[in-house]
Chain A
């Protein structure tokens, strides 16, 4: 029973979602809305458990003296924002909103901008002509980088067209091949779970 009930629920909900995709009409739409509402409910409950997990982990860190500074920053930020939001509101111009706008958003932007530096270091490693394949990669990357900038147009009128062709034909062909495999993989995984063949989550 301990295994059969969850397997049945998975099969039933999976089948419901599957049929809903193909069936038209208001009933199908209401089933979809209901499933989404249930998911929202589950998500809401899970957030409580997630916050408990975060608190416990960092509280343990502080108690054990491990990465105390980082853990304290996390705990103070988490509960500080919570208190500010509950007692002083989250509307435009509130302290909560200001911290979000002047601390959170710039921090996010800073982390995102680090990407450009990482791209340079990754590109340096990737574009070394060690084999025929990597030489081809280097060549196509070079053509694309030059061709898709205004500099490419100055060098030759046909270079931007060639760069676009590389993107639209060989690149797209490879992408479609991968997409095809992914679609089958998704289908296989869904069926395996629905039919109870893949049950590593239930062992």
Chain B
């Protein structure tokens, strides 16, 4: 049977290998107890404050895990953040409402919340109806969640994951109810809407770093450091590639984008 490596994707394979090594290097550093500095991300720093606000007001927290399916990495990142948020909410005994658009995401989100409450020793806090499926229809889902925000008067809204045209509908309704809102997405076209309508927005990589950042675990934090170093390498390659391109040598460009 014919088996080969797609030569067009060789640059991607090499990048993944380099990145994996960087990741393992920083993890070993963290395990040795070395402290790693991370810049402050206001959106992530505000998570505790937002949960605290809901607790003080005696209202619920709304967590929207995006509208995509479970095979979208953004949804997985969102569920990781949900776990951290649920733990904090559980410690404060604040209700968390998670409406879902995808049936698989619904089942996973339910388990994530259950596990989060169990891990803090409060499995009794889990309410079967707090994580629920709404509909597969994009705007049906948006209408339902908007209605939920207006009726339940949720104090804090989290919009984390993949969003499409419904992002502004959700975020603007949340603004009109006076909720503190934190959004995080890798959908570039929806970022401006979240930036305008939400109090804090986790842009792209910040969204992926949030779970590690919130956990505060050195091993997880070290993965963000690996990300930064990889970015430095890519930045250097971009500058070098640009310079070489200017003098008519396009080795790097041809390697990254083979013809």
From A18, A121, A179, A191, give the contact of B23 (CB < 8 A). Answer: A191
CA distance A85 to B11 in the complex (A): 50
A8-46 contact mask (Cβ, 8 Å, vs B): 1 or 0: 000000000010011111111000000000010011001
Residue pair A119, B168 in contact (C-beta under 8 Å): yes
CA distance A164 to B231 in the complex (A): 29
Nearest neighbor of A67 in chain B, beta-carbon distance: B151
B154 interface contact, C-beta 8 A: no
From A26, A111, A126, A193, give the contact of B139 (CB < 8 A). Answer: A111
Residue pair A26, B208 in contact (C-beta under 8 Å): no
Residue pair A46, B104 in contact (C-beta under 8 Å): yes
Binds A, one of B42-50, B58-66, B75-83, B245-253: B75-83
Other A-B contacts than A23-B3, A126-B192, 18 sampled, CB-CB below 8 A, are A49-B103, A50-B103, A54-B135, A108-B137, A111-B142, A122-B168, A122-B193, A126-B195, A182-B205, A185-B207, A186-B73, A187-B19, A188-B23, A192-B212, A198-B212, A200-B84, A201-B111, A203-B119
Sample (11) of A-B pairs whose CB atoms are under 8 Å apart: A43-B104, A47-B103, A50-B103, A53-B110, A53-B132, A104-B140, A111-B143, A115-B169, A178-B204, A185-B204, A193-B76
From A26, A114, A119, give the contact of B2 (CB < 8 A). Answer: A26
A94 interface contact, C-beta 8 A: no
CA distance A19 to B234 in the complex (A): 23
Known: A111-B143, A186-B73. A50 touches B106 (CB 8 A): yes
| Residues on the A chain within 8 Å of B124, using CB | none
A184 interface contact, C-beta 8 A: yes
B83-126 interface (Cβ within 8 A of A): 83-84, 100, 103-104, 106-108, 110-112, 115-116, 118-119
From B193, B205, B219, give the contact of A185 (CB < 8 A). Answer: B205
B199 interface contact, C-beta 8 A: no
A52-75 contact mask (Cβ, 8 Å, vs B): 1 or 0: 011011001000000100100000
B178 interface contact, C-beta 8 A: no
Residue pair A49, B106 in contact (C-beta under 8 Å): yes
Residue pair A28, B104 in contact (C-beta under 8 Å): no
> Majority SS of interface residues in chain B?
helix
What is the distance, in angstroms, from A167's C-beta to the closest C-beta of chain B? Answer: 13
* Residues of chain A at interface, number, CB under 8 A: 61
What is the distance, in angstroms, from B181's C-beta to the closest C-beta of chain A? Answer: 12
Residues of B within 8 A of A (CB): 1-6, 9, 12-13, 16, 19-20, 23, 27, 71, 73-74, 76-77, 79-80, 83-84, 100, 103-104, 106-108, 110-112, 115-116, 118-119, 128-129, 131-135, 137-140, 142-143, 147, 151, 165, 168-169, 171-172, 186, 188, 191-193, 195-197, 203-209, 211-212, 215, 219-220, 223-224, 226-227, 230-231, 234
Nearest neighbor of A121 in chain B, beta-carbon distance: B172
Of A23, A24, A57, A192, most buried by chain B (CB within 10 Å of CB) is A192
Residue pair B104, A42 in contact (C-beta under 8 Å): yes
| Residues on the B chain within 8 Å of A200, using CB | 79-80, 83-84, 112, 115-116, 211, 215
Nearest neighbor of B79 in chain A, beta-carbon distance: A201
From B9, B116, B128, B193, give the contact of A22 (CB < 8 A). Answer: B9
Nearest neighbor of A18 in chain B, beta-carbon distance: B16
CA distance A87 to B115 in the complex (A): 41
| Residues on the B chain within 8 Å of A57, using CB | 129, 132
Residue pair A185, B133 in contact (C-beta under 8 Å): no
| Residues on the A chain within 8 Å of B128, using CB | 56
What is the distance, in angstroms, from A45's C-beta to the closest C-beta of chain B? Answer: 8
A155 interface contact, C-beta 8 A: no
CA distance A24 to B13 in the complex (A): 14
A145 interface contact, C-beta 8 A: no
Residue pair A24, B112 in contact (C-beta under 8 Å): no
A132 interface contact, C-beta 8 A: no
CA distance A26 to B119 in the complex (A): 44
| Residues on the A chain within 8 Å of B227, using CB | 184-185, 188
